Structure 1
Amino acid sequence: MPLLIIIPHNYNPSSSSPRSTVLAKYISRNTINTLRVLSFRFYAKNTNKVVSIIRAMSTILHLNGIDNGSDNKNAGDCDRLLSPAAMAQQIPLSLKAEKTVRAAREACANVISGIDDRLIVVVGPCSIHDPEQALVYARKLKACLSLFPDLVILMRSYFEKPRTTVGWKGLINDPELNGTFQIQNGLFTARKLLKDLTDLGLPLAIELLDTFSPQYLSDFISWGAIGARTTESQPHREIASKNLHSVGFKNGTDGSISVAIDAMKSASSPHSFIGMNRDGVASIVRTEGNPSVHVVLRGGAKGPNYSEAHVAESIKSIYKQLPDKHPSIMIDCSHGNSEKDHRNQPKVVHSICEQLKAGNPFISGVMIESNINEGRQDLPSKGPVGLKYGVSITDACINFETTLTVLEKLQEAVVQRRKLVEGLSEDTKFLVASNLLSVHFE
């Protein structure tokens, strides 16, 4: 229903007078987003009285379910976000960062397609809650990259966290860690950090948790994951088909790989769907399909799935359904594969190394949750005050010293795999791999 808003006759939104400023702020923050405004013109001398009237009307209408121009009584205020293009203009991609991103994207695509025999390693915090600590971790990691020439190392830069029920949803959603949900500030903070990290020359990986925030960050990203809870989601498959970087689909929470293979099929195909363009406008989006997609084994309700037998079965399933695709497998050393105990991650890495040394050419990457210090901690109800330095507030991580140890083992294993198959023809390599894995392709 139409609503008559009353304001002083001398109200001027552009005025700097105290009365006009107070009322302009109140209307812009609390009324225009929640009420249907028909007209306003009324003689009044006391701005406070007018604000009180508007507040009362706003409360009454909210209780009656009149919000945001709809009859949805559960909807609150809607605040506009800056567009992806406008934010990119304020925090641009530098030339050095662009070179870092492009080189890592190409390397990842070549590894996933089987052209490059190196190993992708996505390593870093489960989630970033402190940009300064993330930069400390990044500098430590960057200083070590030259020690591992046969690993394509990307820093895990996750700003959004899927929750089984409720909880802190990540730095974008709640950058202050106090329930104030300053999402626009969160996007700025995330983009600024990605710029700082790529300016160091460090390539980055991210999780595509929703379909909007990647629009603000994707130009900094070289590899992306779609998690177990969203692998079946059509919008996420459509977004993946649009990405210029490689995308890994995790198996379902039940451990099933079929949903990830279906996601590969979908994301590698063209799509047309409703989305958002760089100017933040609802648009019809058309994609050509992303050829660089693969499966990520992360374990599930039935237990880990990183063993040689699990990997072999996964390769067989991919090959049968997508015979023209290199059956590339990445293994997540955390989550279900670590049985939610970060101390088991080195054990998973050991198994992967043994498979690499045996000549398995289809293991293309690993994911490792790592931080400055090991373990995890809960976020206090009062916010970040009192948090331990360099310790995750989501999933538990191994510390940086342990991280270096597992990277050394992976580097050694990749070198041994290369020596094993050196000089063999492509057909012979495939036969050797098939025999090693006891996979019989029909």
Structure 2
Amino acid sequence: MSFNFLNQLPSPEEIKKEYPLPEKLAQIKKERDAAIRKVLTGEDNRFLVIIGPCSADSEEPVCDYVSRLTKIAEDVKDRLIIIPRVYTNKPRTTGEGYKGIATQPDPEKAPDMVAGLIAMRKLHIRTIEESGLTPADEMLYPENWSYIDDLLSYVAIGARSVEDQQHRLVVSGFDVASGMKNPTSGDFSVMLNSVYAAQHPHHFVYRGYEVETPGNDLTHVVLRGAVSKHGNSTQNYHYEDIMRLIEMYNERDLKNPAAIVDANHSNSNKKYFEQIRIVKEVMHNRQLSPEIHKMIKGVMIESYIEPGNQKIGEHIYGKSITDPCLGWEDSARLIYDIAEMNK
């Protein structure tokens, strides 16, 4: 056999028992989940801002960053709902490189999945406790969902996972907002097929059990740009892209049509400072078109304390070790600008 079995992982029940979510924080999550639902169903005109580091690589600066969002969230609460990105899993195109705190709690040491599962749960609980804001994460490994299903208010399915059957089926069992990114090819049909699959009931195998799911009516799309056959980044946040998306949504029997625009990745060609311009264009187009205003429910922004990124081992506090991020000062100004433009 080619597998070397290293450790028996603790069950989600065991991890949750050791690191429980206090009832006070569970109530905060319940209230925020309900508010986010109302935005996605059109009952609430507020706008979602999903913002934070490309990857949550270290507990102290991540919690520092998220706590800084608390005052801003209070200032703009009548117009925005801020959801901090606390992404504990990092997809890698080639399989090489840092895979996130859930796999590698210390980026400079070897992977440790048991310590990673504990670090992932502790980080999410601490961010809620210190900020009052419930987080978003990316579901890179569907089997990890059960370790944090009581902590997240938003789940993203990445461009490389959106075509995977298991990801689609597992999302159908979620009761929180779930964004399906367009694949790296940019194909809207693939993305919308994923939404359709996740919104419907399913019967499948999950974590060694035969399970049934009811479907998740809060599943929606996330536009993150694409990569052409020549390897060039192409954008899909422009006016004509959104109008095409609306047309394709209207051709399908989907609940709660909604889209989030990811301002980084291929939309910015990973030029992090472009996120400011992209977000403002999205907000401007919402003002121009009632249809776009109704469809675009939020934006994703990659942001950390320090702008740009660094190599693992450089130890600049609050600076990304994966994709480059917008710095704190620019991010704070941008959030207030978004609030001003959400009229």
Normalising by structure 2, we get a TM-score of: 0.94
Q: Out of 211, 225, 235, which is 1:304 matched to?
A: 235
The equivalent of 1:111 in structure 2 is 39
The equivalent of 1:387 in structure 2 is 315
The answer to whether the Cα contact below 8 Å between 2:217 and 2:255 also exists between their aligned partners in 1 is no
Q: Out of 137, 143, 159, which is 2:88 matched to?
A: 159
The equivalent of 1:292 in structure 2 is 218
The equivalent of 1:170 in structure 2 is 100
Partners of 2:309 and 2:66 in 1: CA distance? 19
Secondary structure of 1:236 counterpart: helix
Q: Out of 164, 184, 193, which is 1:253 matched to?
A: 184
The aligned amino acid for 1:356 is R
**Cα distance per residue 1:362-410 (max 9 Å; x no partner):** 110100000001001121xxxx4x3211100111000111111111111
Q: Give the unaligned 5+ runs of structure 2.
A: 229-233
The aligned amino acid for 1:375 is G
The answer to whether the Cα contact below 8 Å between 1:121 and 1:368 also exists between their aligned partners in 2 is yes
The aligned amino acid for 1:331 is V
What aligned pairs does 1:21-420 form with structure 2 within 5 A after superposition? 72=1, 74-149=2-77, 150-165=79-94, 166-200=96-130, 201-276=132-207, 282-302=208-228, 303-322=234-253, 325-358=255-288, 359=290, 360-379=293-312, 384=313, 386-415=314-343
CA offset at residue 198 of structure 1? 1.2
Partners of 1:214 and 1:395 in 2: CA distance? 24
The answer to whether the Cα contact below 8 Å between 1:104 and 1:222 also exists between their aligned partners in 2 is yes
Partners of 1:179 and 1:168 in 2: CA distance? 10
The aligned amino acid for 1:407 is I
CA offset at residue 238 of structure 1? 0.8
Q: Which of 1 and 2 has greater Rg?
A: 1
The answer to whether the Cα contact below 8 Å between 1:297 and 1:306 also exists between their aligned partners in 2 is yes
The aligned amino acid for 2:274 is N
Number of aligned residues: 332
The aligned amino acid for 2:261 is I
The aligned amino acid for 2:304 is N
The aligned amino acid for 1:203 is T
Partners of 2:330 and 2:177 in 1: CA distance? 27
Partners of 1:355 and 1:327 in 2: CA distance? 17
C-alpha RMSD over aligned residues: 1.2
Partners of 1:183 and 1:158 in 2: CA distance? 16
The equivalent of 1:430 in structure 2 is none
The aligned amino acid for 1:170 is G
The answer to whether the Cα contact below 8 Å between 1:315 and 1:329 also exists between their aligned partners in 2 is no
Partners of 1:257 and 1:292 in 2: CA distance? 18
CA offset at residue 269 of structure 1? 0.8
**Cα distance per residue 1:82-124 (max 9 Å; x no partner):** 1101110111111221122112211222111111111111100
CA offset at residue 325 of structure 1? 2.8
The answer to whether the Cα contact below 8 Å between 2:307 and 2:324 also exists between their aligned partners in 1 is yes
Partners of 2:57 and 2:13 in 1: CA distance? 25
Partners of 1:185 and 1:326 in 2: CA distance? 38
The aligned amino acid for 1:136 is D
Partners of 1:86 and 1:296 in 2: CA distance? 34
Q: Which runs of 4+ in 1 moved over 3 A?
A: none
Secondary structure of 1:82 counterpart: coil
CA offset at residue 179 of structure 1? 4.2
Partners of 1:366 and 1:233 in 2: CA distance? 24
Normalising by structure 1, we get a TM-score of: 0.73
